[in-house]
Structure 1
Amino acid sequence: MKTIKLALALSAVLLSPLANADASKGDHTEALQLAVDHPTRSPANVARDKYRNPVATLAFFEVKPDSTVVEISPGGGWYTEILAPLLAAHGTYYAAHFPADSTSDYYKRNRAAFVEKLAANPIYNRVQLTDFAPDNSSAIAPAGSADVVLTFRNLHNWYSNGGDDGMVAIFKDFYKALKPGGVLGVVEHRLPADKMTGEWMKSGYFPQQLTITLAEKAGFIFDSSSEINANPKDTADHPGGVWTLPPVLRLKEQDKEKYLAIGESDRMTLKFRKPVTE
């Protein structure tokens, strides 16, 4: 009992002043900034903020402190470190990670690391862990419950395994989880239209127009795009694909300073909406 009380008390300390953020206000920039500045974030993740622009990105996707948000494939938890404290007091955060019953060693290893991360800090006590993988039948969240579904830099992986039909099926899963009027937010490495030739799928980049087309096939309405995460220095034609750039730096020391100077990839930031009436 003492352990539970201590954890709850620590959670309250970690959440303040986010716990007092007014979720009814129209402008949630302050609450988003507080979450981004939360002391539990790792320094390595904070260093990526200049490329990933989390405050502006989440604001564009209409994420609020009282939202119900589903993040698809949260990986090591870069956005978890922001969304968990943002939503802990007034909202709901579903982290749809690799399935618990997967036979893939990669899936099992990554999910286990994420579970360990959640267990290491009380700020994650209210994170609801669900399952997601292409062709997996588990619900990422209760149907019609989510205000926002988010996916960051995942489309190229899904498309390489399932093509057009596989991607439409995935978008339909997101559609099912959203409330009418809910938002699907997509950030992805952007393939220039003139580079959609040859083996472009191996590059890690993905075409913006194809994203829009496939989301619309799943029933979404394309709402708007933003250049928040654009990087004009990225030519999208690197010898090791998008992974040539930081943070991966696939070529290691070869031309390292050149790729560090470019920074992370040029990214499309797209907002779709589930129709209010069908």
Structure 2
Amino acid sequence: MRPLILVASAVIALAAPAVAESPNDAPVAAAVAAPTRTPANVARDRYRHPAETLAFFGVKPGDTIVELWPGGGWYTEILAPLSTSGGGTLYAAAPWAKGLNRIKQWQGAKPDVYGAIKLAEFPATGAGPTVPDGSADVVLTFRNIHNWRFGGKDNVAEAFRQIYAMLKPGGVLGIEEHRLPEDMDSALEEKSGYMKRSSIIGFAEAAGFELAGESDINANAKDTHDYPGGVWTLPPSLAEGDKDRAKYLAIGESDRMTLKFVKPAH
């Protein structure tokens, strides 16, 4: 392994705070254990560590939570019962309206579980309702910033600007993203699905955020980050099909950084 990677890993490991127990741990654990979660999603907890990740971000059941680009709803299955348990509010925000189709289907099929989720457009273009400015306690996005990056740096900058606006002063932005080692070519961010820690911090700080903490909860030292087909070579996508399937299953899901930013209270 290249020396710079070792140095970066050491710095991150030293900076990563332990996830301490808090009064919010029990409701988060209950939401992770919700019987409404699909077995296939539960099987991926060993890679995604949802209880530890949400505890690190400080998510509370009474919060106004915004999940950006929920996609297939992996985290939505946890956030919906968590929010309901504490009388909080959960927004699912994505491109209007196709990006919210899965959530809409769930709302129709299981209104008791997902019916209270508010739907919003993100990034806002005027096509749909938005998360009101200054209303969110926490905004979460899981493995999505690379998608914004594919649309260009200006798109990422605008996304962070809109996130900053929707948060209350003192509010938290929690990011989990596929990690591109700092000594690899930055051009890979445009196609590989991996992002550099420095890039994400740069976009966040330019929007006004302050880095409040980082953790290796979702790190994976087995990930070599150098697949011609990008991060989708690894589970759960396994884009190569049966080619080297056992090898990629042994690696597991990607190496991910977990970053916590705060909107300054002043």
Counterpart code for 2:88: G
Among 37, 40, 63, the residue aligned to 1:41: 37
Distance in 2 (alpha carbons) for counterparts of 1:53 and 1:112: 26
Hey, what does 1:61 align to over in structure 2? 57
Hey, what does 1:117 align to over in structure 2? 106
**Counterpart of 1:193 in 2: which secondary structure?**
coil
Hey, what does 2:157 align to over in structure 1? 168
Hey, what does 1:20 align to over in structure 2? none
Hey, what does 1:79 align to over in structure 2? 75
Distance in 2 (alpha carbons) for counterparts of 1:129 and 1:93: 9
Counterpart code for 2:91: Y
8 Å CA contact retained: 2:92, 2:100:
no
1:95 lines up with 2:92 in the alignment = yes
CA apart distance, 1:234: 0.4
8 Å CA contact retained: 1:70, 1:94:
yes
Distance in 2 (alpha carbons) for counterparts of 1:257 and 1:183: 38
Moved over 6 A (4+): none
* Aligned 1:206-217 pairs, distance under 5 A: 206-217=195-206
**Counterpart of 1:27 in 2: which secondary structure?**
coil
* Aligned 1:166-245 pairs, distance under 5 A: 166-245=155-234
Distance in 2 (alpha carbons) for counterparts of 1:46 and 1:271: 24
Among 241, 265, 270, the residue aligned to 2:259: 270
Hey, what does 1:13 align to over in structure 2? none
TM-superposition CA deviations, 1:164-210 (whole Å, max 9, x none): x3212111101111010000001000000111255442111000011
Distance in 1 (alpha carbons) for counterparts of 2:148 and 2:225: 19
Counterpart code for 1:162: G
8 Å CA contact retained: 2:135, 2:168:
yes
8 Å CA contact retained: 1:132, 1:139:
no
1:273–1:197 distance in 2 versus 1, CA, 3 Å = closer
Hey, what does 1:126 align to over in structure 2? 116
8 Å CA contact retained: 1:70, 1:140:
no
8 Å CA contact retained: 2:211, 2:261:
yes
Hey, what does 1:246 align to over in structure 2? 235
**Counterpart of 2:120 in 1: which secondary structure?**
strand
8 Å CA contact retained: 1:72, 1:97:
yes
CA apart distance, 1:115: 0.8
Distance in 1 (alpha carbons) for counterparts of 2:42 and 2:66: 22
TM-superposition CA deviations, 1:186-244 (whole Å, max 9, x none): 10000001112554421110000110011000010111110000000001001211000
Deviates more, 1:114-123 or 1:49-58: 114-123
CA apart distance, 1:26: 4.4
- The CA RMSD over aligned residues, in Å, is 1.5
Percent of matched pairs sharing the same residue: 53
1:74–1:171 distance in 2 versus 1, CA, 3 Å = same
8 Å CA contact retained: 2:132, 2:166:
yes
Distance in 2 (alpha carbons) for counterparts of 1:265 and 1:71: 21
With normalisation by structure 2, the TM-score equals: 0.87
TM-superposition CA deviations, 1:224-271 (whole Å, max 9, x none): 110000000001001211000000000000000000000000001000
Hey, what does 1:28 align to over in structure 2? 24
Distance in 1 (alpha carbons) for counterparts of 2:212 and 2:116: 30
1:63–1:199 distance in 2 versus 1, CA, 3 Å = closer
8 Å CA contact retained: 2:100, 2:119:
no
Hey, what does 2:136 align to over in structure 1? 146
With normalisation by structure 1, the TM-score equals: 0.84
Counterpart code for 1:150: L
List runs of 5+ in structure 2 lacking aligned partners. Answer: 1-20
